[in-house]
Amino acid sequence: MTAAIEVPTAAPSRRRRRPTLMIGIVFTAIVVVMAAISLFWLPYSLTDISGGRLSAPSAEHLLGTDRLGRDLLSQLMVGARIALTVGAGAVLIAAVLGTALGLASAFARPWLDDAFSAGLDVVIAFPVLLLAMLVVAVQGPSLGSAILAIGLAMSAVIARLTRILARRVLQEQYVTAARTSGTHTSGIVWHHILPNIAPTLAVSLALQFGVAVLAEASLSYLGLGAPPPNASWGRMLQEAQGTVLTAPVGAIAPGIAVIVLVLGVNFLADGLRDFTDPTRRRSR
């Protein structure tokens, strides 16, 4: 009788998770493939203005051209490469810096931990885009500045999460036993804390990847991203806003690209949580 009740609940859960993960893989793979192809081949150079101003989609220009006569598909492909580069770079910075700061806070004395936590709360209270704009304003607009700015802005979120998770692990009995046996702090971190918090951190970093993509598009839209002739989705949206009624593809294409990538990494994060959460694994 119990088995008859549990089986129907497990099947819908399995059916519900699989499409989410597959959609995430497909959406993300589309952008990754497009970015990979742009490393070796582009339909037209980004400086080629021979296509005519605001040309409609055609066999020569599949998405048409912008107001300067540049091929939109070529810009979209390079924009995918920039979005992935900024997302990966910013997440790497946030992972290294945030994890290190969070672990340091978890092992710190109570008064220092409280002061550090209060500082993190202040930083997190500011939007990622605002903090990134401040850093870019000091460093100057460039691709490297965008990666550094977004990574630093997101590191506070990762630091707070790492601190919470690490302190929870430090209260476990096996950590107490390790300390009693003389295990050094570095050994506790590498053998007990990081293996236990890594799955949750991976999910959070995957979600932060989407935040980084949106932040990069916003910076580029404001003219604070990678300078020309580099193409980015945010700059494409900014340049197309004046001609959206006469040539809507110039605004629709980069907008859809941003949505596809952000949805893809968020669906992947949701699928990753399904595999790393023990309670969800048992329901599969």
Average pLDDT for 172-197: 80
Kindly report which listed range (223-232, 249-258, 269-278) carries the lowest average pLDDT score. 269-278
The 10s digit of each residue's pLDDT in 153-172 is 889 899 999 998 888 888 87
Alpha-carbon distances, residue 124 vs 12, 67, 99, 119, 160 (angstroms): 37, 39, 15, 9, 9
Question: What CATH superfamily is the domain 27-38+70-283?
Answer: MetI-like (1.10.3720.10)
Residue 242: pLDDT above 70? yes
**pLDDT attached to residue 95:** 93
**pLDDT attached to residue 258:** 93
The 10s digit of each residue's pLDDT in 2-45 is 444 444 444 444 444 567 788 888 999 999 999 999 999 999 88
Percent of the residues in the chain that have a pLDDT greater than 90, as a whole number: 24
- Confidence (pTM): 0.83
**pLDDT attached to residue 145:** 83
Residue 1 pLDDT class (50, 70, 90 cuts): very low
**pLDDT attached to residue 11:** 44
Alpha-carbon distances, residue 47 vs 24, 50, 225 (angstroms): 33, 9, 18
Residue 118: pLDDT above 90? no
The per-residue pLDDT of the chain, averaged, comes to: 82
**pLDDT attached to residue 86:** 92
Written in H, E and C, the secondary structure of the chain is CHHHHHHHHHHHHHHHHHHHHHHHHHHHHHHHHHHHHHCCCCCCCCCCCCCCCCCCCCCCCCCCECCCCCEHHHHHHHHHHHHHHHHHHHHHHHHHHHHHHHHHHHHCCHHHHHHHHHHHHHHHHCCHHHHHHHHHHHHCCCHHHHHHHHHHHHHHHHHHHHHHHHHHHHCCHHHHHHHHCCCCHHHHHHHHHHHHHHHHHHHHHHHHHHHHHHHHHHHHHCCCCCCCCCCCHHHHHHHHHHHCCCCCHHHHHHHHHHHHHHHHHHHHHHHHHHHHCHHHHHHC
